[in-house]
Each structure stands twice: as structure tokens, then as C-alpha cells.
Amino acid sequence: MAKSGKPSPKTNPTSANQQPRAAARPVTAAKDWLERPAIPESDPMLRKVFWGLAGLGLIVLIALSLGSGINADDKFQVDYSQKLVNYYGTFGKDTTALNIPDGNMHLYGGFFETVTGFANKALGYQPTNLGYHNVRHASSAILGWVAMLCAALFASLVAGQRAGIITLVIMLVSPRFVGDSLMNPKDIPFAAGYIMAIYNMVAVLNRMPNPSRWNLVGLALGLGIALGTRAGGLLSFGIFGMFAGLHFLMKNGGFRAFSDGQNLKKYVFVTLGVAAVGYILALLFWPYALQAPLKNPFVALSKFSDLEVKIRVLFEGNNVMSDKTPWNYALKWIGYTIPLGALVGVLGFGVLFPRLCRRYNPLWVSLALFAAVFPVFYVIYKNSVIHDGWRHLTFAYPAMAVCAGLFWNELANFFSEKKYVQWAVYGALGLLCVDAGAFIAANPKMPYVYFNPIVGGISGAYGEFETDYWGVSTRQGIEWLESQGILKPDMPEMVVIATNMYYSTKQLTAKYGDKVKVKYLKWEKRCDDAWDYGLYPTRFLDGGTLQKGMWPPDNAVHIVKAGGAPILAVLKDNGKNCVLGIAASKLNDWPSAIERFKAELANVPDNEIAWVSLAQAYLNTSQLEEAKAAAEKALAIVPDDAQANNLVGLYWMNKNDLSKAKAQFELSIKKEASNPGAWYYLGLIARGQGDNQTALSNLMKAIQISPTFKPAYELSAQIYEAAGDGANAQRFRAAMGQMK
């Protein structure tokens, strides 16, 4: 052998690199791709780094999960979990899990809820115990770690251990995915099942026709967890079937492969067998699907498009309904919230895709791309309703991280002969991820609110995008109340807490029994009832209010922040003036109402509810100029407030300036389309101008928005009566009479 250590063709005629092509067994180009030896032998040191990093990641994730707040969706999830425990505990006699109208939870697989439900039952925990939620959070963290691990193992199979380490690092410093792993019982289990199935299908097909039993088990388990969490898990089955077919054709000479009956049987047996086991596994954790195994999973999948929840979301500074978001809603959210290292990696993967396909198995490189990109573009193509950022696409992120890991690994390979440049590549990756990693370290209880430097971090995104949309920060608010001695076991008097995050607040204060009363009050209805302290995150707040720095309000006694941005305000109500003013207004006691609202505004000058209500009281006492001034004060705080805009319009109507009134109501509708009052007044103006057709059209829009808006029915009936159409007039009066 030569001194250089390189084997010569004579001494090693069978070497993969030196064997003359003429002596090689003829293969197709596709098969040559599949069998190309591209991955180096595993380095023992790299293996230790990989598993050491993975082990540390698991410990950190579980530890962080125990400090997380409660997800607002747990109101539905925990209820489903308890119903599932009852269903299986009574061997199907308790059928409440088969149809749950509140949240339609029966249409979701019950894997996570069943496992954690029985674990909590064995430990003796109830939802009012913090331990109950710790079990759920730790379980979610474990599944999040499984997703990270499988993504890294997938990258390792494609391009070697170093690619796996890079992918694992990217996953561990991804605040959104880490944060969801601490408390998200829907999206994280689904993501774990999805990427577990993809990793194991690669491992299985790589070893065909003799795959590892462990990978067969892992593949079936991944398919089962994905479908056993969401009906969308059927996508994993489709991907497996598609890539198994492609692998069979590419490895065995294209369509000529069908002549090899023995090999074809092996592929069919493995593919259908594993898919069947995964499907059955999912059914075992899904009572609704068990009722009609070959029908109900597909029924659930079809119904999701009909049952999509439409809520108000904050996007680019505008409060819009989730079914009215632009086509690029998900793309922008992804671009603004993943670490820069991941973002550059995903984009770079697209640039290097041809090179990666030449260097590595092109089928698996393509699978990584497909698994990452297809869900996102399918959502865009279908114009699906998504909200809460891009959490519905969380399952695609591990595959995105694989793409990013392959790019950075290949970039390092490109400079393998220049070690200093190669280390510069690693340094660049580190610099692009340091912001995300630092955010996790600084905000360990809710890292999911992260935004990257492209949008200026969370401070730049504040008022432009949703932050704590699940209200997990209520736990920090409660802990502050406890640290101040406001909440304690021996409280002398009851403390009343108002919040729009009722479930989490109720569970976290249950230990105080009847010493704490929690009231559900929306932010815009917080003066409808009396309370001592309020816990309000930024969820559902007006974007303009946040951008102008008009929140938190002046009665905030504590602010929970993340990255310098306010996330939750703890409010204190002194004097109950606002709620007493509202009560006086309901009794038409306008002088008392005015007195109370003035007292409230003396203490809390930025209480827009008090300003709007004061404007209404002034209007009802014919103090027009005072009414307009008060309404404009409210609009300075909340520019999109429908009632304040309507009151300005009413001011102009009372001044007999119908053109300005009409313009104001049209502006009000532009800011808030679902504003029945504005449509009603536009109808009233049109009627006064003799345009009955426009009047009726506007009134119908008011009725469509608010079917119980009686003034619109009454005015419609009057218009029809005046036109001699008694039948339609009677129809509207009859509809009005049926209202309670």
C-alpha cells in the first residue's frame, strides 16, 4: 500500500471509489443515486456530542415546562381528557366523549389526552391542582423533544452526524417551538408524530427489503400519534405511500420493477402493514373514530374546514377577522418568528437544493423539502382559516429545521479544505441564532412570544402582531399577587379577579377556595361587573391602542414583560366608579352616571370605556359638545372603537349635518365592518333622504350582523308599511316578536 494511505486499484479492486465502472453491476441512474455512498462513518466524538446535547435538551425542556402558565385551549383539552378517561374507564359505557359540541373535541384524536388523563388519575391529581397541569406540560415537553430528536436523526441519515447536530441546535434555540413544547397539547404531539413518521420511513426504506424492526415500530408509532392527535395526520400516511412508491421505482429500474413480484410484495407488505398498524393505533385513542373506523377519520378531516373558528386577530397593526387575513399571513408569521439561522438555512436550502440532490440521496432531500413546504403552501392554496400566528403549521417546522441543518452542513462542507472559513460558517450560524437563544434564557416561562430582529424583536412587533395569545402570562400575574400578599391562604376578605383568560386563572387560584372569585369579563366589558384586581394580556386589544402606548392603563399596578414589551397588566380597581356608572346608565340615571364616569376618569384618565359611556350620557342629556369631546377622547385611546365612532356620527345627526354623519358612520364601518349600529344609522339616514332601497339594504346588513338588533327590524317594518307592503312589514314585526 502506498505511504499516503490511499489504496491503489491493484491492492483494493473492490473499493467503491476505485472500482472500474465496466466491472460494476449495471444499475439505473436512479438506483445509483439511491446507493451513492455519501455519508461518512459516524464519528464517536460527534455521537457523544449529539446524544449529550439531546439529553441536556430533554432535561431543560422538562424543567422549563414546570414553570409554564396554562394554555387557554386547555379549557377544551382538559374537559376532553376527563371524558376520555371516563369512556375507557367504563369500557365505553360513558359515551360523552363521542360528541362534544363545545369545541368539537370529539373530532380530534385523543392520544395525548388519554395518556395524560390516566397518568393524572393514577397520581390522584385534579384540574384544580397545579400538579395536574405539570403532568400535561412535562408530557408536552417530552413530545417536543421527540420531535427535535427525530428531526436531527433525519438530518443525520441524509448527511451525517454533523448535520444532525446542527439541526438539533437549531431546534433547541427555536423559541416558538420550545415555547409551544412547554404547554401546547395539540400542535406539539401532532408535530412529534409527523416528524417521527418521516424519520422512520426514511430509515425503513433505506434498509429495504430488510428494514429494522425498531424503525418499523417507530414508523407505526409516528403515524399513530399523528392521526391520533388530528385528522390531518392522514397526510403522514399519504407521504409514506408516495415516497415508498417512489423509492421502489427508483431503486428497481422504474416501471420494470413491477415484474419483480417478490420485491413488490415486500414493499406492499411493509407499506400496508405498517400503515394498518399505525391506523389501528390511532383508532385505539379516538372513540369517535372507533365508531366507524373507515369513515369517521375522513368525516373529521372534512368537517374541520366547516368548523374553523373565526376570531379577531392582530396582523400588521390591524385587527381583522381570521377568515379575512391576506394570503401571505402564515409566510410573514414564519419569517418573523423563527431564528435567523433557521430562516437563512431554509432559504439557502432552496438555493443549494440541486447540489444537495447531487451529493446526497435526492429522494430524502426532496422529502425534507416536501414535508416542510407542502403544508404551508397547501394552506395558502386552500385559503384556510388560521390564527394565533402559525401554530396550526407548527408540525412543519421540524422539517424546516432539517432543511436548514442540511444547508449549513453543506456550506461547511464546501469549505472543508479551509478550516478557518469553515469555522466562520459555524460562527455565522451561532451569531444568527444567539438572539433566539438569549430570548429563551431571558423569558423561560413563555418563549413562544418571540419575534426575530427582522421585525425588531418583540418590541418591534408589539402592536403589530399578537403576542401572548394563549394567556399563559396569567400565571406570572397570579404569582405577583401572591408575592405581594394579596393572595394568601389566610386572606381576611374575598378577592375578586376579572380576566378574559378565565380557565387558567380559575385553575391557578382554586387552591384558595371561596376566598378568590374569578369573573370572566372581556376587555371591552371590564366595567360590566365589580372586581378588585384584573388580569389582562394584550390578546384582542386594539392594535392602534398598543402602538400609541395607551396600554397598559393608568390603574395597572404590575406589568409582565417579555423582551421589554408589555405582555400582561395586573389592574386594581379603586372606587368601582366605572361599574357604578354603567349601572346608573342602565337605569337611565344620567346625572349619576356622569358623576361616576368623571370620578373614574379622574383616577384612570385612559379608561376608554368611561369616556365612551360618558359621551353616551352627555348625548342623552343633550350636552352635544361635551358628548363629542368625550367620544373623541375615547378614539384617541382606541381609534377603532365602534361605539365611540357611532357617537360622533350621532353628534352630527343631532346637528342636522347628515353628510358628516354619513361619512362618520362609513368610517366606523371601515374600521369595524361588524358594526350593526353604524349600518342601522346609515339606513336611517337613507330613509330620511327618501332612498328606501338603500335604507333596507343597510338595515339587512345590520340584521345579518346582529340578528337580535330590534331597531333594525322596527325601522324595516315602518319602511314597508309606508310603501304599502303589509306582508313584509308583518314578517319583520313577527320576527321581532319572537325575540326574548
Distance in angstroms (rounded) separating the CA atoms of residues 662 and 547: 28
pLDDT at 6 over 70: no
pTM beyond 0.95: the answer is: no
User: How far apart are the C-alpha atoms of 407 and 400, rounded to whole Å?
Assistant: 11
Give Cβ neighbours of residue 7 (< 8 Å, ≥ 6 apart). 1, 15, 18
Task: Give me the sign of the Cα torsion angle 319, 322, 327, 332.
Answer: positive
- Per-residue pLDDT for 735 more than 90? no
Instruction: Report pLDDT for 307.
Output: 52
Which tens digits make up the pLDDT trace of 327-366?
A: 999 999 999 999 999 999 999 999 999 999 999 999 999 9
Q: Which three cell numbers stand for residue 315?
A: 396582523
Rounded CA separation 701/685 (Å): 15
Q: How confident is the model at residue 671 (pLDDT cuts 50, 70, 90)?
A: confident
Domains of the chain in start order, with CATH, are 44-442 (no CATH), 474-572 (no CATH), 578-737 (1.25.40.10)
Alpha carbons 715 and 722: distance in angstroms, whole number: 11
The residue type found at 564 is G
CB 406, CB 159: distance < 8 Å: yes
Q: How many other CB atoms are there within 10 angstroms of residue 272's CB atom?
A: 12
All three cell numbers of 548 = 400609541
pLDDT of residue 38 exceeding 80: no
Region of poorest pLDDT, from 305-319, 397-411, 644-658, 684-698: 305-319
731 residue type, one letter = R
pLDDT digits 0-9 by tens, 462-500: 999 999 999 999 999 999 999 999 999 999 999 999 999
Directed axis angle between helix 397-414 and helix 187-206, to 10°?
50
Look at residue 2 in the predicted model and tell me its pLDDT. Answer: 40
The set of residues, in sequence order, having a beta carbon less than 8 Å from that of 329 and lying 6+ positions away, is: 315, 386
Residue predicted with more confidence, 257 or 273 = 273
- The answer to whether 696 and 680 have CB atoms below 8 angstroms apart is no
**Mean per-residue pLDDT for 261-284?**
93
Contact status, residue 81 vs residue 106, Cβ threshold 8 Å: no
Query: What's the confidence (pLDDT) of residue 44?
Result: 87
If one compares 285 and 389, the residue with the highest pLDDT of the two is 285
Q: What is the C-alpha to C-alpha distance for residues 229 and 101, in angstroms, rounded to an integer?
A: 18
> Coil, strand, or helix at residue 587?
coil
**Can you read off the three cell numbers belonging to residue 158?**
441524509
Exposed/middle/buried for 292, CB within 10 Å: 0-12, 13-18, 19+? Answer: exposed
Task: Give Dmax over CA atoms of the chain in angstroms.
Answer: 110
Question: Does 626 score more than 90 pLDDT?
Answer: yes
Q: Residue 176: which residues within 8 A CB-CB, separation 6 or more?
A: 337, 338, 389, 394, 397, 447, 448, 450
Residue 566: name the closest of 590, 591, 587, 545 by CA: 545
Segment 119-158, tens digit of pLDDT = 999 999 999 999 999 999 999 999 999 999 999 999 999 9
How does pLDDT run across 556-580, given as a tens digit for each residue? 999 999 999 999 999 999 889 999 9
Confidence at residue 32, expressed as pLDDT on a 0 to 100 scale: 56
pLDDT value for 672: 81
* CB burial string 665-674: b at 16+ within 10 A, e below: beebbebbee
Which residue, 139, 140, 160, 164, is CA-closest to 151? 164
Half-sphere exposure of 230 (CA within 13 A, CB side): 20
- Select the more confidently predicted residue: 70 or 38: 70
Residue 374: helix, strand or coil by DSSP? helix
The answer, yes or no, to whether residue 264 has pLDDT greater than 90, is no
In angstroms, rounded to a whole number, what is the distance separating the alpha carbons of residues 130 and 68? 11
669 or 35, which is more confident? Answer: 669
pLDDT score at 740: 63
Predicted confidence band of residue 388 (pLDDT cuts 50, 70, 90)? confident
Report pLDDT for 31.
Answer: 54
pLDDT at 42: 65
Alpha-carbon distance of 222 to 199, in angstroms, equals 9
Average pLDDT across the chain, whole number: 90
Is residue 11 pLDDT above 80, yes or no? no
DSSP 8-state symbol, 96? G
Beta strands at 516-520 and 495-499: parallel, antiparallel or unpaired: parallel
Task: Report d(CA 598, CA 635) in Å as an integer.
Answer: 17
Average pLDDT over every residue of 619-633: 95
For the chain, the straight-line distance linking the first and the last C-alpha, in angstroms and rounded, comes to 97
**pLDDT for 12 beyond 50:** no
Structure-block grid coordinates of residue 631:
367620544
Tell whether the model's pLDDT for residue 19 goes beyond 50: no
Cell 400538579 sits at which residue? 131
Give the three-class secondary structure for 180: helix
Set of cell numbers at residue 27 = 444499475
pLDDT at 635: 92
Q: pLDDT tens digit string along 448-472?
A: 999 999 999 999 999 999 999 999 9
CB 230 within 8 A of CB 190: yes
Query: Of 319-333, 480-494, 630-644, where does mean pLDDT reach its minimum?
Result: 319-333
Q: Which pLDDT belongs to residue 310?
A: 74
Q: Region 181-199: what's the mean pLDDT?
A: 97
- Amino acid letter for position 460: G
What is the enclosing helix (H) or strand (E) of 37?
A: none
The reported pLDDT for the residue numbered 5 is 42
Contact criterion met (CB below 8 Å) for 697 and 726 = no
Alpha-carbon dihedral sign for residues 381, 387, 390, 395:
negative
**Residue 251: what pLDDT?**
81
Q: Name the CA radius of gyration of the chain, rounded.
A: 31
Q: Which residues contact 31 (CB under 8 A, 6 or more apart)?
A: 250, 251, 252, 253
pLDDT band at residue 401, thresholds of 50, 70 and 90?
very high
- Contacts of 95-104 spanning 24+ positions with Cβ under 8 A: 95/287, 97/287, 97/288, 98/287, 98/288, 98/291, 99/288, 102/76, 103/75, 103/76, 103/79, 104/303, 104/307
Angle at 576 between CA 574 and CA 578, to 5 degrees: 115
pLDDT at 21: 36
Q: Please give the single-letter amino acid code of residue 502.
A: Y
